[in-house]
Chain A
Amino acid sequence: MESGKMANQQTILVIDDQIAVCRSVEKVLQRQGYRVESFLNGREAMERIGTGGVDLIVSDLMMPERTGTDLLRQMHALGITIPLVIITGYAGIESSLESLGLGAMDYLPKPFTIAELRTSVQRALRGGRIDPSILPRPPRDTYAIRRQTWARRIGPSAVLVGVHPFRLHCCGAIQAVDLAHEKDEVVQGGCFGKLTADDSAVPAWLWSPVSGEVAAVNSQAIVNPGLLAADPYGQGWLMQLTPYDLDKDLKALVAISAA
C-alpha cells in the first residue's frame, strides 16, 4: 500500500470547455472522495495550478484559447510535474503520441466509462508519487514514448519493445499480458497489447513506439507476467518488431538511456 494523502484530501482539477462534461466528471470523482475543481479554460486553470495543492489534472485537448497540449507544454517548461490525464472527443494516433510524448500519464478517448476514468485517475495519482530514482535504468540506445513503452534496436531490422517500468508501477501487480500476434502489423501510437493489473478490471493499454510487423512475441512474459516488473528492459521485453521506418519513428520518441 502506498503512503500518501487519503482520497478525500486529494485535489483534482478538471479542465474542459463543455460544462456538462466538467459536471459529469466532478460527480464521478467526488463519489470516490476526491476534491474536484472545474475550469472551462486552460488559462484560469494555470492560475489555479500556480497556487499549489493540486494532485492531478484531467484535461480536454480541444479547447479555445489554450489547448490541452499548450497546457502540457507550459507545465513542462515551468517544471511542473503534476500528473495529467487527457480526455478527448476526437481521439487519434497523432494527438495521443503528442500528448503522451509531452508527459501526459494517460490518454482517454471520449466517451469513457466511469470505471475507465477512475482507473486512469488512480494510476496517474500513483504515478505522481513514484520516485523516479527507484526505477531500473534503461540500457543504451533505448527510446520511449515518454513513460509508456520503450523501444530498442537490436539489429539492422529488429527492434525490441516493452513497457516502461514507470507505467508498471502505476498499475501495480500485473496479472495478465495480452499482445498482438506474429505477422500482425502495428502502428506507432497504436495499441499492440494490454496489461491486466490487479488494481482494476480496466486494462492498461500499451501503445507501440514503432510501426512495423511483429516478428516475435515473448511467450515467457505472457506465461509469467512478473517478469515485466522484475526486468522490464531485459527479460521482460514484449515483442520484437521489424520496423518499417525506424528513423522516422524515432523522431517522435525520447531517448531515455543515461549514457
Chain B
Amino acid sequence: MKTLGDIRELRSGIWWLICLRLVAVAGVIIATVVARDLKLQTNFTGLYITTAVLLAYNVFFAVLLHHSRGINALRVIANLQIFLDFMSLTILLHFSGGIESPFKLYYVFHTIISAILLSRWEATIQTGLAIVMIGALILMEHAGLLGHWSLGIIPLERMTHPNLYVFSRLFVLTSALLLALYMTISVTERSRQKNVELSTIREQLTRHELPRGEEDILREEKLSSLGRMAAGIVMIGALILTVILTNVELALEDLDPKSPTHESLQIVNDEVIRCRNIISQLLTFARGEGIGRKLCDAGAILKNAAALIRNYATLNQVSIDMQVPPEPLHCRVNENQIMQLLFNVMLNGIQAMSKGGTLKVAVAACGDQCVSFTIEDTGHGIPRSIISKIFDPFFTTKKSGEGTGLGLSVCHRIVELHHGIIDVQSEEAKGTRFIIRLPYV
C-alpha cells in the first residue's frame, strides 16, 4: 500500500541518485584526465561523449522529477534512470577495457542502489537486463564483433584472452551481481516490514486517539478545558486544604493527646494528608518522587491496584480473579500513574456488572520488551456505536451525578505518556475486555 510517506521516500531516493550521478561523472572525468596524463591509449572521445550523455540525462531527470507528482510517475523515472545508468556503465566498460575494466565493481553498487530504490521485481529485472548487457558486450568483444579498448599503454585491437579467462570472469561478475541483489532485497524487505509494523501500531494508536476533522477539534477543546478545570479545582482545593490543615494541626498542638477531641482532629488531619497525596498525583508534582519512570514489577502494581478496589468489588458482589506470573515482570513505568490507570479500568469493569460477576485481571509479558495487562468483565458491554468515544473526556453513559466521564480519558492519557497501546473489545450483554500494552522503554 502506497502512502504519502512512500512517495516522499522514493522522491528523496531519486534525488539522492541524481546527486550521486554527478559525483560519478566527476569521478569519470578525473579518471579520464589521469588516463590522458599517463598516456594510456583509449577512446577518449567515447569517454567524453558518455560523460556528456550522463550529465545531460541527469539534468533531464532532475527537471522531470521536479515536475512530477504521483507514485507511478516517480516509479517510471526511477526505473528509467537505473536502466540508463546500467547502459552507460556498459558503454563505459567497453571503453575502459571490457572484461579487464576496473569499473566492473560499479555494477555491484548499482545493483544495490536499484534494490534499495525499486521494488524487488523491478530490481531483479533491471539486474537481469544489466547482466544481459554485460554478457553481450563481453561476448561480442571476445568474438571479435566489437573492438576492444584496453587500458594499457599498447592498445590491442582484439581481445586475446582464453575462453576460460573470459567466461570465469563473466561468471564471477554475474554471481556477484545476483548475490548483491538478493542480499539487498532481503535487507530492504526486512526494514520495510518493520516500517509496516510501525505504521500499523501508529494506526492502532490513532484509532483510539484523535479522529480526523471536526471531532478532532472538539476533542482538543475538551482536553484543554479538562486541563483548565483540573487546574482550577486543584488550586482551590489546595488553598482550602492549606487553611484546614494548618488550623487542625495548630489545634492538635493545643489539645491533650488523650482527649477524644484530639482523636477526632487527628482523623481529620490524616484525611487531609491523604487528600493532598491524591492532589499531588493529579498534578504529578509529588513530593519524594522523581516523576519519571522507575523499574517496577508489573505484577506487584496489579496486585496493589486490585487491593485498593477489593472492598468496592465485594460491595458490588464482584469477585476478582487475578493471574500474575510467579517471577517479577519488569517494566519501566511511573508506578502511580499505572496504578491509577488500572484502578480506573477495573472500576469501570465493576460498575458495568450491575448484578455482580467476576472481574478477570491478568498481567503477562507480551513479546520481548513489552508488558500486557488484561482486565475483563462480564457486564453489559459497550455498544458498537459508542465504542470509539469511550476515551473522550467527559463522555459518560452514566446518569448525571454518577460519573464525570473523566476516568477513561485519563487512562488513555497515561497509556499515551508511556508510549503504549490500549485496546478495547466488547460485546453487548457479554462483557468488555481492556488490553493495555506497555513497551519496556
| Interface residue ranges, A against B (CB under 8 Å) | 18, 20-21, 24-25, 27-28, 31, 62, 87, 89-93, 96, 109-114, 117, 180-181, 183-187, 190-192, 194, 203, 205, 208, 211
**A-facing mask of B25-43, CB < 8 A → 1, else 0?**
0000000000000000000
Q: Which residues of chain B come closer than 8 Å to A192, judged between CB atoms?
A: 290
- Flag if B243 contacts A24 (CB, 8 Å): yes
- Flag if B332 contacts A183 (CB, 8 Å): yes
Which of B109-117, B291-299, B308-316, B386-394 lies at the interface? B291-299
B272 CB within 8 Å of chain A: yes
For the complex, give the distance between the alpha carbons of A112 and B280 in Å. 12
- Flag if A109 contacts B235 (CB, 8 Å): no
Smallest beta-carbon distance B207→chain A, Å = 28
B246 CB within 8 Å of chain A: yes
B71 CB within 8 Å of chain A: no
Given A89-B239, A92-B283, A181-B295, answer yes or no on A111-B289 (Cβ-Cβ < 8 Å).
no
- Flag if B243 contacts A20 (CB, 8 Å): yes
Smallest beta-carbon distance B275→chain A, Å = 8
Smallest beta-carbon distance A212→chain B, Å = 9
- Flag if A184 contacts B242 (CB, 8 Å): no
For the complex, give the distance between the alpha carbons of A116 and B283 in Å. 19
- Flag if A187 contacts B290 (CB, 8 Å): yes
Given A62-B235, A113-B249, answer yes or no on A181-B288 (Cβ-Cβ < 8 Å).
no
- Flag if B242 contacts A89 (CB, 8 Å): yes
- Flag if B285 contacts A93 (CB, 8 Å): yes
A-B pairs with beta carbons under 8 A, tally: 110
Smallest beta-carbon distance B234→chain A, Å = 6
- Flag if B285 contacts A113 (CB, 8 Å): no
Complex partner residue of A185 from B247, B249, B250, B293, CB under 8 angstroms:
B293
B345 CB within 8 Å of chain A: no
Complex partner residue of A89 from B238, B244, B249, B294, CB under 8 angstroms:
B238
Q: Which residues of chain A come closer than 8 Å to B289, judged between CB atoms?
A: 190-191
Smallest beta-carbon distance B440→chain A, Å = 11
Q: Which residues of chain A come closer than 8 Å to B245, judged between CB atoms?
A: 111-114
Q: Which residues of chain B come closer than 8 Å to A185, judged between CB atoms?
A: 290, 292-294, 332
Given A109-B280, A111-B242, A111-B244, answer yes or no on A92-B292 (Cβ-Cβ < 8 Å).
no
For the complex, give the distance between the alpha carbons of A230 and B276 in Å. 36
Complex partner residue of A90 from B235, B290, B332, CB under 8 angstroms:
B235
Chain A residue with Cβ nearest B254 = A31
- Flag if A190 contacts B288 (CB, 8 Å): no
Known: A18-B239, A21-B239. 20 other contacts (CB 8 A): A21-B242, A89-B234, A89-B235, A90-B238, A92-B285, A93-B291, A110-B241, A111-B241, A111-B245, A111-B276, A112-B242, A183-B295, A184-B292, A185-B292, A190-B289, A191-B287, A191-B289, A191-B290, A191-B291, A205-B287
Q: Which residues of chain A come closer than 8 Å to B125, judged between CB atoms?
A: none
- Flag if B291 contacts A28 (CB, 8 Å): no
- Flag if A205 contacts B290 (CB, 8 Å): no
Smallest beta-carbon distance A51→chain B, Å = 28
For the complex, give the distance between the alpha carbons of A89 and B233 in Å. 10
Residue from B245, B287, B290 having most chain A Cβ neighbours under 10 A: B290
Q: Which residues of chain B come closer than 8 Å to A113, judged between CB atoms?
A: 245, 249, 273
Complex partner residue of A27 from B246, B286, B290, CB under 8 angstroms:
B246
Chain B residue with Cβ nearest A117 = B246
5 closest A-B pairs by CB: A185-B292, A89-B238, A111-B241, A190-B291, A24-B246
Q: Which residues of chain B come closer than 8 Å to A211, judged between CB atoms?
A: 292
- Flag if A91 contacts B285 (CB, 8 Å): yes
- Flag if B238 contacts A110 (CB, 8 Å): yes
B231 CB within 8 Å of chain A: yes
**A-facing mask of B241-262, CB < 8 A → 1, else 0?**
1111111011001000000000
Given A21-B239, A89-B238, answer yes or no on A109-B287 (Cβ-Cβ < 8 Å).
yes
For the complex, give the distance between the alpha carbons of A110 and B294 in Å. 26
Q: Which residues of chain A come closer than 8 Å to B242, judged between CB atoms?
A: 21, 24, 87, 89, 110-112
Chain B: residues with Cβ within 8 Å of the partner, total of 33
For the complex, give the distance between the alpha carbons of A112 and B245 in Å. 8
- Flag if B246 contacts A25 (CB, 8 Å): yes
Smallest beta-carbon distance A26→chain B, Å = 10
For the complex, give the distance between the alpha carbons of A92 and B239 in Å. 15
- Flag if B290 contacts A190 (CB, 8 Å): yes
Complex partner residue of A181 from B235, B285, B286, B294, CB under 8 angstroms:
B294
For the complex, give the distance between the alpha carbons of A194 and B287 in Å. 10
Chain B residue with Cβ nearest A28 = B246
For the complex, give the distance between the alpha carbons of A204 and B203 in Å. 46
A-B contact pairs, 7 of them (CB 8 A): A89-B238, A91-B280, A110-B239, A110-B242, A183-B294, A186-B292, A190-B291
Q: Which residues of chain A come closer than 8 Å to B285, judged between CB atoms?
A: 91-93, 96, 109
Q: Which residues of chain B come closer than 8 Å to A117, judged between CB atoms?
A: 246
For the complex, give the distance between the alpha carbons of A96 and B291 in Å. 14
- Flag if A114 contacts B249 (CB, 8 Å): yes
Complex partner residue of B283 from A62, A90, A191, A205, CB under 8 angstroms:
A90
Q: Which residues of chain A come closer than 8 Å to B294, judged between CB atoms?
A: 180-181, 183-185
For the complex, give the distance between the alpha carbons of A21 and B272 in Å. 16
- Flag if B291 contacts A187 (CB, 8 Å): yes
For the complex, give the distance between the alpha carbons of A84 and B332 in Å. 37
Q: Which residues of chain A come closer than 8 Å to B293, judged between CB atoms?
A: 184-185
For the complex, give the distance between the alpha carbons of A106 and B426 in Å. 50
Chain B residue with Cβ nearest A115 = B249
Given A93-B291, A96-B285, answer yes or no on A24-B247 (Cβ-Cβ < 8 Å).
yes
Chain B residue with Cβ nearest A95 = B285
Q: Which residues of chain A come closer than 8 Å to B283, judged between CB atoms?
A: 90-92
Chain B residue with Cβ nearest A25 = B246
- Flag if B290 contacts A184 (CB, 8 Å): yes
Residue from A20, A110, A191, A205 having most chain B Cβ neighbours under 10 A: A110
- Flag if A90 contacts B231 (CB, 8 Å): yes
Chain A residue with Cβ nearest B243 = A20
- Flag if A205 contacts B288 (CB, 8 Å): yes
For the complex, give the distance between the alpha carbons of A120 and B435 in Å. 45
Chain A residue with Cβ nearest B292 = A185
